[in-house]
Amino acid sequence: MGKYKCMLVAFDGSDCSKNALKQAIKFAESETCRVTAVTVLRSSEGEPELVRVRQSDGSGRSRDHTPINSIKLIVEDKAEIQTILEEGVIHEAIIDVADKRNCDLIIMGRRVLSRLERAFVGSFTARVIRYSPIDVLVMPGKAVIAWDTILFATDGSKYSDIAMDRVLELASAHGSALKIVSVLGASDNLYNELPGAVERMIEHAQENVDVVKRKAEEIGLDAETFIREGEPHEQIVKLVNELKADAVCMGSHGRTGLERILMGSVTEKVIEKAKCPVLVVKQAHV
């Protein structure tokens, strides 16, 4: 329980994807699972970027090559890893490979995008998260995969309930210290105009964390709860830093349309700001 059996690493040759691959290999050793790396070249009518790098051949000339060729420089001889090269719409190809290989986790490095790109294009990572039926672990920069302290953010939704089952299994499997937070997004105007509503929101937030804490205690886990007020993603990231959490676990609401384009989901904002890996849970672990 709580263990992944097959991980798919999205590899594009960037520093963040190289670190994601290295971390996935180390993680796979403890999980005793398979690792597959996929590199996707966009089709001519697909994504707005081409996932290629240029490398000098030593003569001053440059030649195109696929990033997957550099995986052998990262992977140690003892590590068993399958590499796949695909062409198409990047997020669709990644999800398709994960499905065909029966993967239960996708690992991606977090790429830094400009504000304009985030608003009108969106990152490949965000698209994978929105459409993937399996869990996605997003790795920022040089972050490492560790589960000593897990912060679970819940809002009491069905998506959080699904994520709760997974985070309890992970915490139990890895002996993690579990921290649980629910963020109250009440504004000053709401306090002044509807103080009773704020009290009910506080009660609801407390119920959210208490439910997780009770279930954690039922399986022998100690858990600490937090109620915070403010912008949800800001409060979650702030608590990550305070606790020095190794990972954040969240559900994904999968918002679509104008709301997503203009604001993004809380999950995507946490991914953008957090310094530790963020596990986005998409389904209950069977």
pLDDT attached to residue 45: 47
SS3 per residue for 191-210 = HHHCHHHHHHHHHHHHHHHH
Picking from 18-22, 44-48, 249-253, which range would have the lowest pLDDT averaged per residue? 44-48
Q: Residue 50 above 70 pLDDT?
A: no
Residue 149: half-sphere exposure toward Cβ, Cα within 13 Å: 11
pTM of the model: 0.83
Percent of the chain scored above 70 by pLDDT? 73
186, pLDDT greater than 60: no
Q: Could you tell me which residue, 74 or 174, shows the higher pLDDT? A: 174
Picking from 44-48, 124-128, 252-256, which range would have the lowest pLDDT averaged per residue?
Answer: 44-48
Q: What is the pLDDT of residue 257?
A: 44
- Residues 277 and 140: beta-carbon distance below 8 Å: yes
